[in-house]
A and B are shown apart, each in its own frame.
Chain A
């Protein structure tokens, strides 16, 4: 978002529209980010909403020295870690999430450019229904090809073909888009699991009850 410092200044002065703008821009990214720490999406939403309420209540005392984006993401991370600590106290089990996930913070992995957002929605909507279903099961739910095949009662080969076609369709749709043209990451061999792929790995530990 442009001019975040200015926006934050307006929030400090009690401007609710600015606050809403900040909320709308960052809500989903922060929820999605907190899933890295907490499996339950409802808990994530609670945490992020509570955090925004706190910002509004304490707005006049807030002083941000880093970028607004980094402030938001690191605060939400701290809240998630606190939440985990309390869970630990309540349930009395040890978890290594705290040490494991405290490493680096990369907010940009969770923020999608607005125009790209619309483009992707168009792209996904234009896929044939079956292909779209398979693609979503793979990319959102993080299911393996085998799991998708079992779930839909189709062959793994079909899943492979549909995923290949979905990739072809979507890349074509997005290839004119500057973000895809300017940068590309090719880490061959052994393309590591990173970015959203990391999130996907996390999710697969707790499949959601969709469909």
Chain B
């Protein structure tokens, strides 16, 4: 029905090419006919659908699926991997008595129950009546029953332990390259796999932090209340300092205070405390100081307060994140 030239004009028109004066006149003549209108409509749809087909055809779904499939099975064994970037805190809150006890270097496999928690603040009861509260991305492994002369668990990540006293059976927490030993106490252990340091903060009581890295099994520091012990995972250096930063325990206590703290550090603290992601536009001055304290507030509230106080703009993003920029 349509002549070759007429098809050319329709194709040109649908390709957003400029029509000449004659072509334009011809096109207007054509569309007066209802049948041609229908054909042009179908042509537009044809172009649209073939364009979409060609667009979709660039993507190789098969190879993409293979890639995703592999990643799925990889992540099964390392399910907390994305959350591991937080600095490690070995926070020990010791309430009970403590006896000096020599570490037995033993690695005999015990049947374990693995408690994995990806989200923060979940409490788990241990077989001896002790409890453990896990921070996000953390995992603790323990046997169905504590047999033998010790109570041994392994930890990746950060956790708060509340240990039932038992002088006959010391409680040992093994982590990657460090051990913590107590007889009965409550304390918080944080030892993320990929972090540079293991830190122990003691509130009350007495705790020992052992360097169990290769060849240095006997090295330890004894920590008293208010002290921080640090084990550097690379240099294997054990350090003791006489103070601690309460904000590092905020994930558990939900108590945060800033005292003339640079904004950059404020966001770092909040990221750790709430397992949130804070992205900062590079226009924002992160050296400006904030003084404020928060008790049991949710991160949205805190970010709102910061935004108002410092006159910056905070937007919530997907997955509990925040984006900070100047107003």
* Chain A interface residues (CB < 8 Å from chain B): 16, 20, 23-24, 27-29, 31-32, 35, 41, 45, 48-49, 52-53, 56-57, 75, 78-79, 82, 85-86, 88-89, 92, 109-110, 112, 116-117, 120-121, 123-124, 135-136, 138-140, 144-145, 160-161, 163-168, 170-171, 174-175, 179-181, 183-186, 188, 191, 193, 195-197, 199-201
What are the interface flags for B56-75 relative to A under an 8 Å C-beta threshold, 1 for contact and 0 otherwise? 11110100110111011001
B31 within 8 A of A: yes
Can you offer 19 A-B residue contacts whose CB atoms are under 8 A? A16-B72, A23-B65, A23-B68, A28-B56, A31-B59, A35-B55, A48-B64, A57-B79, A89-B280, A112-B56, A117-B56, A164-B8, A174-B42, A184-B38, A191-B14, A195-B51, A197-B14, A197-B48, A200-B51
* Docked-complex contact A28 and B50, CB < 8 angstroms: no
Given known contacts A32-B56, A140-B54, A184-B38, A52 and B68 CB-to-CB distance under 8 angstroms: yes
Dominant SS at the A interface?
helix
Q: Which residues of A contact B48 (CB under 8 A)?
A: 195-197
Contact among B10, B31, B41, B55 with A167 in the assembled complex (CB-CB below 8 Å): B10
* Docked-complex contact B15 and A82, CB < 8 angstroms: no
* Docked-complex contact B17 and A145, CB < 8 angstroms: yes
* Docked-complex contact A184 and B71, CB < 8 angstroms: no
Task: Name the CB-closest residue of A to B24.
Answer: A189
B53 within 8 A of A: yes
Dominant SS at the B interface?
helix
* Docked-complex contact A82 and B318, CB < 8 angstroms: yes
Contact among B2, B13, B64, B280 with A27 in the assembled complex (CB-CB below 8 Å): B64
Q: Which residues of A contact B42 (CB under 8 A)?
A: 171, 174-175, 180-181, 184
* Chain B interface residues (CB < 8 Å from chain A): 2, 4-17, 31, 37-59, 61, 64-65, 67-69, 71-72, 75, 79, 279-282, 317-318, 321, 323
Q: Which residues of B contact A174 (CB under 8 A)?
A: 42, 45-46, 49
Q: Which residues of B contact A179 (CB under 8 A)?
A: 45, 49
User: Given A31-B58, A32-B55, 13 other A-B contacts at CB below 8 A?
Assistant: A20-B69, A28-B61, A41-B59, A49-B68, A53-B71, A79-B318, A89-B281, A161-B4, A180-B42, A181-B42, A184-B42, A188-B31, A197-B48
How far is A85 from B53 in the complex, measured between Cα atoms in Å? 30
* Docked-complex contact A56 and B47, CB < 8 angstroms: no
How far is A33 from B148 in the complex, measured between Cα atoms in Å? 60
Question: How many A-B pairs with Cβ below 8 Å?
Answer: 183
With both chains docked as a complex, state the minimum distance between the C-beta of A120 and any C-beta of chain B, in angstroms.
4
How far is A197 from B46 in the complex, measured between Cα atoms in Å? 12
Those 5 A-B pairs whose CB atoms lie nearest each other, nearest first: A184-B41, A164-B8, A196-B51, A140-B54, A164-B7
Q: Which residues of A contact B44 (CB under 8 A)?
A: 184-186, 191
With both chains docked as a complex, state the minimum distance between the C-beta of B60 and any C-beta of chain A, in angstroms.
9
Q: Which residues of B contact A121 (CB under 8 A)?
A: 53, 57
Q: Which residues of A contact B56 (CB under 8 A)?
A: 28-29, 32, 110, 112, 117
* Docked-complex contact A139 and B7, CB < 8 angstroms: no
* Docked-complex contact A166 and B11, CB < 8 angstroms: yes
Q: Which residues of A contact B75 (CB under 8 A)?
A: 53, 57
With both chains docked as a complex, state the minimum distance between the C-beta of A45 and any C-beta of chain B, in angstroms.
6
Q: Which residues of B contact A170 (CB under 8 A)?
A: 46, 50
Q: Which residues of B contact A88 (CB under 8 A)?
A: 281
